[in-house]
Amino acid sequence: MSLLLDVKGVTKRFGGVVANDAVSLSVREGEIAGLIGPNGSGKTTLFSSIVGAHPIDAGAVLYEGRDISALRIAEIARRGLTRTYQQTRIYGQMPVIDNMRISAPDVKEGILPLFRRAGRASEARARDLLSFVGLYEKRDLLAGSLSFGQQKLLEFAMALMSEPKLLLLDEPTAGINPTLINGLIDRLKRANKELGVTLFVIEHNMRVIMNLADRITCLAHGQVLASGTPDEVREDPRVLDAYLGA
Ligand code: ADP
């Protein structure tokens, strides 16, 4: 499998805090990669470094073999590399279907999200993706009236509107009740297999990430502590220590 993402020695500092300290890892085309580590170990910062949300202090991010470190977030997104956030970013006062429309790549820019219009192909894709995540029946409801778990599914569907090649998911199951988690895992796996989206997932829930990921990297204190298959990482004493010592 070829490398889709190659993170080479990325360092990111906030004042005196070294949030990412010479981090190197890779994501292969077609896989589901996992990123774990105790709170404050630098996971979210690494996602921001990858998608161009802030300049990095050292190292390089290669995507499809090209150095994207100096590119802006919108340019990187146009190339098919995008992310979701820990806090959902939906428009609660707009219907579910309109949230999908404004996420379309061909959407016409308007001053307010309401005045943006998507093309016909995007209309069809919006409906297909809502069906895919099981929210088609809810398309005319206000997004803010959905349960938290449904809002996470909506956000996932919105992220898929731009047909990403590589989607970075920041704690997709956080705050979702356990009965809905299995449904979400299933959707993530299907998006990977059926829609061909490579996934890189930050996850706190060990059961989830062990079930979901093909390979996992564990960060601690901004550095890569261990990486390997779920079984290798689960049995690594350094990983256990990092969590117990956190
Ligand atoms: P994780 O996602 O693993 O919980 P983060 O990437 O959020 O870790 O944080 C890594 C470190 O960087 C922490 O010490 C955090 O306080 C610090 N940090 C993250 N973002 C900022 C910021 N914008 N300004 C200052 N410090 C930050």
> What is the pLDDT at residue 118?
60
Task: Give the residue ranges of the chain where pLDDT is below 70.
Answer: 1, 106-119, 245-246
d(CA 37, CA 202): 9
Instruction: List, as one string, the DSSP characters of the chain.
Output: --EEEEEEEEEEEETTEEEEEEEEEEEETT-EEEEE-STTSSHHHHHHHHHTSS--SEEEEEETTEE-TTS-HHHHHHTTEEE--SS----TTSBHHHHHHTT-TTPPP-SSGGG----HHHHHHHHHHHHHTT-GGGTTSBGGGS-HHHHHHHHHHHHHTT--SEEEEE-TTTT--HHHHHHHHHHHHHHHHHS--EEEEE-S-HHHHHHH-SEEEEEETTEEEEEE-HHHHHT-HHHHHHHHT-
CATH architecture for segment(s) 1-80+165-246: 3-Layer(aba) Sandwich (3.40)
Q: Which of 214, 204, 200 is nearest to 23 (CA)?
A: 200
- Residue whose Cα lies nearest atom 23 of ligand 1: it is 14
- CA of 58 from ligand 1 middle (Å) equals 17
> What is the pLDDT at residue 18?
97
> What is the pLDDT at residue 174?
87
C-beta of residue 104 within 8 angstroms of C-beta of residue 162:
yes
> What is the pLDDT at residue 166?
97
Chain segment 144-158, per-residue pLDDT in tens: 999 988 999 999 999
> What is the pLDDT at residue 106?
66
C-beta of residue 81 within 8 angstroms of C-beta of residue 32:
no
CA torsion, ordered 85, 54, 67, 39, to nearest 10 deg: -50
Predicted ipTM of the assembly: 0.98
Q: Which is the closest atom of ligand 1 to the Cα of 47? A: 6
- pTM summary value: 0.92
d(CA 187, CA 206): 18
- Residue whose Cα lies nearest atom 27 of ligand 1: it is 14
* Parts of the chain belonging to CATH 3.40.50.300: 1-80+165-246
The token pair that represents 223 in the structure block: 């550095």
Ligand 1 environment, Cβ below 6 A: 14, 17, 19, 37, 39-45
d(CA 21, CA 181): 32
- Residue whose Cα lies nearest atom 24 of ligand 1: it is 14
CA torsion, ordered 52, 200, 133, 150, to nearest 10 deg: -70
- CA of 55 from ligand 1 middle (Å) equals 15
> What is the pLDDT at residue 110?
53
- CA of 33 from ligand 1 middle (Å) equals 21
> What is the pLDDT at residue 1?
61
- CA of 34 from ligand 1 middle (Å) equals 19
